[in-house]
Amino acid sequence: MKKIILSLLLVMFIIPTLSGLETESENIPVEQETESNNQNITETENKEVEEGPITLKSKSGIVIDASSKKILFEKNSNEELAPASMTKIMTMLLIMEEIEKGNISLEDQVTISAHAADMGGSQIYLEAGKTASVKELLTSIGIGSANDSAVAMAEKIGGTEENFVALMNKRAKELGANNTHFVNAHGLDAEGHYSTAHDMALIAAELVKHESILDITGTYETTITHQNGKSIWLVNTNSLIRFYKGLDGLKTGFTEKAGYCLTGTMERNDMRLITVVMNAEIKEDRNTDTINMMEYAFSQFYKNTLIEKEKSIGTIFIDNSKSREVKYYLKDDVSVILDKTTKDIKYKYDIELFEVKAPLKSGDKVGKLILKYDDKEIEYDLIVKENVVESSYFHRMINYLKDLISGNVNVIGN
C-alpha cells in the first residue's frame, strides 16, 4: 500500500514538470509559430526506420543529396504548395551571395523602412528609421524567422522588396526551380506565391554551399540587442536542431494555408542531405517525416568519391600569364551517391577548358569536368587555386624567344 501511494505521488510530481518543459518555448517573444512537445520528438528520434520505401504523413516531401541533387526518396515532390517561411531560404541565399561578392558585409548597417517595421507575423520589432547590422538581421531570419528582418534585407539588396522578389524568381529559374514563384521575401500567404518540395530542396542545396549560414541555422537560441538597448531572445523555430543530433538547419514554415513545413539538412559519413516536408497537419508529423527520411537515406545510400578536389587534374596554357602553364583543380570532389548494394560503378569523364587570360584570382573558373555514368552527365567546375599574374612585357619577350627556339612559332617568310 505504501508503494502504491509513493508511485501516485511521483506521477503527480512528474507530469506537471513535463508539461512545463513542453510549453517552455511559448515564452519566445518573436515567434508566431512555436515549438513544443519535446518529449514526442525525442521518442521519434530513437525509433528505427524500416528498410525500403517509407510513409510520409505530410502532403509532400523529398530527400536529396546536397552535392549531386540526386533524389533518394520523394512523395508528390512537384506539387505546387505554399512554402510559408521556407521562402526565407531563397532570401538568405541572395544575402549570402551578396556577401560573397563583396557588395555587402555583415557589419553594414541597414536603415529600417516603415514597410519593414510594419510587417506582421514572426518579427524582432524593428523600428522605422533605426538601423540594424546585416549580421543581426541575417541571424534573426535564420533563427527567429523574422519577417521584418527579411524585408529590411530585401530592401537593402534590391532597393525595394518588389525588386528583390524579381531577383528571387530569377535565381530560382537559374537553379532549375521551375515550379516556383515568389511574391514576397518572407513567405506570408499571397496569391501566386508557391513552390514545391523539389524546388525548395534545390534552393536549399545551393544555400548550404555557404557553410557559414549553418552556424546561424544550427544555433538553437541566442540573444540580439537592438540599437535602443532592448534585447531580443531568439529560439530556433526548428526544434530538431536541439533534439535530433546532427541536424544544423535549415528553415521551418507555417501558415494556415501552407500547414507545417520544414527544410532540414545534416551531414553524416561525409554525405550532406536535404529534406523538405510540406503541408503537414501537425508539427509532430513534419518532425517525424524529416527524421524518417534522413534515417532512411543514410541507411540505404553512401557517398563514393571518384576524384578528390585536392589533386591537380592537369595544366592549362595561359599565354599572357607569367608562368603560362597553370595547374587547375576541381572546385568540389567528383562523387556519386550509391545504394549500399552497389560497391563500384563504371564511369568516364571529359575535360573542357575555357579560353582565359591573366590576371586570375584563386577560385576563378577555367573549365569544367563532365562526369559520365549510368546514362547521366554531371558537370563540375575546374578552378585555379592560386592567383595568376599577368606577365610583363619583358617576360612576354622571353617567352616569345623560347617559343622561337623550340620551334613553336612560325617565322614569316619560312
- Taking only the tens place, the pLDDT of each residue in 358-385 is 999 999 999 999 999 888 899 999 999 9
Stretch 268-295: mean pLDDT, rounded?
Answer: 97
Give me the residue spans of the domains in the chain.
Answer: 58-301, 308-406
Q: Are 127 and 100 within 8 A, CB to CB? A: no
Backbone angles phi, psi at 279, to 5 degrees: 60, 45
Report the pLDDT value the prediction gives residue 81, as an integer from 0 to 100: 98
Q: What's residue 164's pLDDT? A: 98
3-class secondary-structure state, position 195 = strand
| Whole-angstrom Cα Rg for the chain | 26
Q: Which residues contact 52 (CB under 8 A, 6 or more apart)?
A: none
Confidence label for 186 from pLDDT (cuts 50, 70 and 90): very high
Least confident of 37-51, 102-116, 204-218, 305-319: 37-51
* Residue 235, phi-psi category: left (phi > 0), alpha (psi -120 to 50), beta (remainder): beta
Whether the per-residue pLDDT at 264 is higher than 70: the answer is yes
Across 23-32, 162-171, 257-266, least confident range: 23-32
Contact 38, 18 (CB under 8 A): no
Q: What is the pLDDT of residue 227?
A: 78
Q: Give me the pLDDT at residue 412, please.
A: 44
Q: Which run of H or of E encompasses 71?
A: strand 71-75
253-262 mean pLDDT: 98
3-state SS class at 9: helix
Which own/partner pairs from 346-351 qualify as long-range (CB within 8 Å, at least 24 positions apart)? 346/373, 347/306, 347/371, 347/372, 347/373, 348/372, 348/373, 349/307, 351/313, 351/314, 351/382
Which H, E and C letters describe 13-54, residue by residue? HHHHHHHHHHCHHHHCCCCCCCCCCHHHHHHHHCCCCCCCCC
Superfamily of domain 58-301: DD-peptidase/beta-lactamase superfamily (3.40.710.10)
**Rounded-to-10 torsion of CA 190, 273, 363, 214:** 70
Quick one: pLDDT at residue 408? 64
Pairing of strands 71-75, 221-225: unpaired
User: pTM of this prediction?
Assistant: 0.81
User: Which of 65-79, 280-294, 332-346, 385-399 is predicted with the least confidence, judged by mean pLDDT?
Assistant: 385-399
Q: 42-46, 174-178, 235-239: which has the minimum mean pLDDT?
A: 42-46
- Evaluate if residue 397 carries a pLDDT over 60: yes
**Structure confidence at residue 396 (pLDDT):** 65
Grid cell digits, residue 160: 525595394
Closest CA to 358 of 319, 397, 386, 316: 319
CB atoms within 10 A of CB 357: 11
Cα torsion at 49, 54, 57, 60 (round to 10°)? Answer: 130
pLDDT at position 65, please? 97
Residues 6+ apart with CB under 8 A from 229: none
Span of 14-23, 47-56, 204-213 with lowest mean pLDDT: 14-23
Report the pLDDT value the prediction gives residue 38, as an integer from 0 to 100.
36
Active site residues: 85, 88, 145
pLDDT at residue 230, rounded to an integer: 86
Q: Report the C-alpha gap between 286 and 133 in whole angstroms.
A: 33
Q: What number is the average pLDDT over the span 230-247?
A: 96
Residue with cell 517552455: 24
Task: Write b or e for each residue in 219-250: b if 16 or more Cβ atoms lie within 10 A of its Cβ, otherwise e.
Answer: beeeebebeeeeebebbbbbbbbbbbeebbbb
The stretch 154-171 carries a mean pLDDT of: 98
CATH architecture of 308-406: Sandwich (2.60)
Q: Are 21 and 38 in contact (CB under 8 A)?
A: yes
- Out of 52-56, 82-86, 125-129, pick the least confident: 52-56
Burial of residue 22, with CB atoms counted within 10 A of its CB: 0-12 exposed, 13-18 middle, 19 or more buried: middle
Q: What confidence score (pLDDT) does residue 366 get?
A: 97
